[in-house]
Amino acid sequence: MQEYQELWNQILDNLHEHLEDEIYNELFNTLSSVQKVSDNYLYVVAPSLYVQSRINRLYLPKINSLAQSLYKKELIAFKFVLQEDLDKDIKILQQKSQESQDEKRYRSGLNSTLTFQNFVIGQSNRFAFQMAVKVADQPGAVVNPLYIFGDVGLGKTHLMQAIGNYIFDNNIASRVLYVKASEFLETYVSKVRNKEMDVFNEKFKNVDILLVDDIQQLSGNKGNTQTEFFKVFDHLVERNKQIVITSDKPANELNMMDRLKSRFQQGLVVDIGVPDLEHRVAILKRKFETIAPPEMNDVGIDVLEFIATYFTTNIRELEGALNRVVHFCLINNSPITIAKAEEALETLIRTKKKTDQLSENNYDKIQSVVAEYYHISVHDLIGTSRKSIYTLPRHIAMYLIKETYDLPYKTIGSFFGDRDHSTVLNAVDKIANQRKHDKELNLAIEHILRKLDK
């Protein structure tokens, strides 16, 4: 312990030399000596949350840099904590040291395969990637929160998980937690019902890095949950704990409390866009390297460009298409050619063309005609009201889009305020069943179809 205290004294002398007396006396004169050493962390107690927060935010990187330059025996870092948190931190570190790496990562909710190394960078995601690396390298010190938004399937979760995995692999003492916003909601409801809010707070407030995926899942009429998330958010940010959030829309477009949206925008908002052709081909190349067996010949650039031309807006769909081609060719014991790719993807491409046709024909025409027939606005048709004057037209519009274009239920749901698969499925089935015996409904639908044909 003595050599660590001598190191701390050297660092204090250096800070005293370079800081104004007023700042040094306010912050560093009030600190304790090194209280404990655990897992290469030197613990120093701060007298107040204000002092702890200021040091962590403004001086911690410099302090750790000095420590590394002055102490050559091993890699060490400082942690500034409040007295009441000191024993808690040590206890958690002792528990973590008894677990295997895999157990720790599993408990954090991290997927070890999602890293910065296998994230394919292009023009559409370069800035988001660069900021993610900065945040991972200096959590709590660069921007807080980091808010990443973009459409479904563009790599938001991969980038968020890469941040968590980088921190986990390079700073084992940090407590990382990755959750879907839906899990946050379910946990909150469960713990309130069972009167176990202490367990809830332990899970979400006692972390160093909180990664919340798909925050839009807290949108809508979930006031208590949003309030609780606000409390968790403020608790962590005040202590310079890093928060990363993903969403399918910008923060200011979320259907959430204004104070939450304001908090999300106080850090840095970055977007991930749709990859261009060159980027999509690069993604397919990387994916092929990971899924192709050794006996399979390399895939030609012409085949990759063919796949990338049809699957343009969703990386998961893009990679899924390649996966289908690879396994189709393996089963048929044939090389990967454009002809074989066309054969393997025939059904998927036909569905894509229907989706494109729907876009060209403006699916909103169905919504407009249905809304006009029932004398309501399109806004109300796709809105959240459950009044029957809105739900029946809404269900009819969903039914007609499904019948006309045979799109996936999830895709149709995206036209109606991002409703989920089961909601659209139930609506379509309900109208289909009602049509078997409801003459008035059939007359209404036939009238709407005639207007659509004009």
In the chain, which residues fall in CATH 3.40.50.300?
Answer: 106-271
Given a contact cutoff of 8 angstroms between Cβ atoms, the answer to whether 384 and 417 are in contact is: yes
Residues 235, 242: Cα–Cα separation, whole Å? 11
The predicted structure's pLDDT at residue 434: 94
140-173: b (≥16 Cβ within 10 Å) or e: bbbbbbbbbbbbebbbbbbbbbbbbbbbbeebbb
Q: What is the CATH number of domain 361-453?
A: 1.10.1750.10
Could you count the other beta carbons within 10 Å of the beta carbon of residue 72? 7
Residues facing 395 on adjacent strands: none
The predicted structure's pLDDT at residue 69: 85
Instruction: Provide the angle, in degrees to the nearest 10, between the axes of the packed helices 277-291 and 301-310.
Output: 120
Q: Are strands 34-38 and 41-45 parallel, antiparallel or unpaired?
A: antiparallel
Residues 440, 254: Cα–Cα separation, whole Å? 38
Q: List, run by run, the mean pLDDT of 10-residue segments along the chain (454 residues).
A: 85 91 89 80 89 90 88 79 77 60 76 91 93 91 92 92 91 80 90 88 90 90 82 92 93 89 93 91 92 83 91 88 93 91 88 62 82 92 90 96 84 88 92 94 93 79
Q: What is the CATH number of domain 277-357?
A: 1.10.8.60
DSSP codes, 290-347: HHS-TTSPPPPHHHHHHHHHH--S-HHHHHHHHHHHHHHHHHTT----HHHHHHHTHH
In the chain, which residues fall in CATH 1.10.8.60?
Answer: 277-357
The predicted structure's pLDDT at residue 355: 62
The predicted structure's pLDDT at residue 32: 85
Instruction: Provide the angle, in degrees to the nearest 10, between the axes of the packed helices 301-310 and 315-331.
Output: 130
Given a contact cutoff of 8 angstroms between Cβ atoms, the answer to whether 355 and 370 are in contact is: no
The predicted structure's pLDDT at residue 422: 87
Residues 399, 409: Cα–Cα separation, whole Å? 10
Residues 454, 452: Cα–Cα separation, whole Å? 6
Q: What is the CATH number of domain 2-98?
A: 3.30.300.180
Given a contact cutoff of 8 angstroms between Cβ atoms, the answer to whether 97 and 126 are in contact is: no
In the chain, which residues fall in CATH 3.30.300.180?
Answer: 2-98
Residues 390, 396: Cα–Cα separation, whole Å? 10
Fold topology of 106-271: Rossmann fold (3.40.50)
The predicted structure's pLDDT at residue 153: 86
Residues 12, 73: Cα–Cα separation, whole Å? 20
Residues facing 44 on adjacent strands: 34, 80
Residues 50, 141: Cα–Cα separation, whole Å? 16
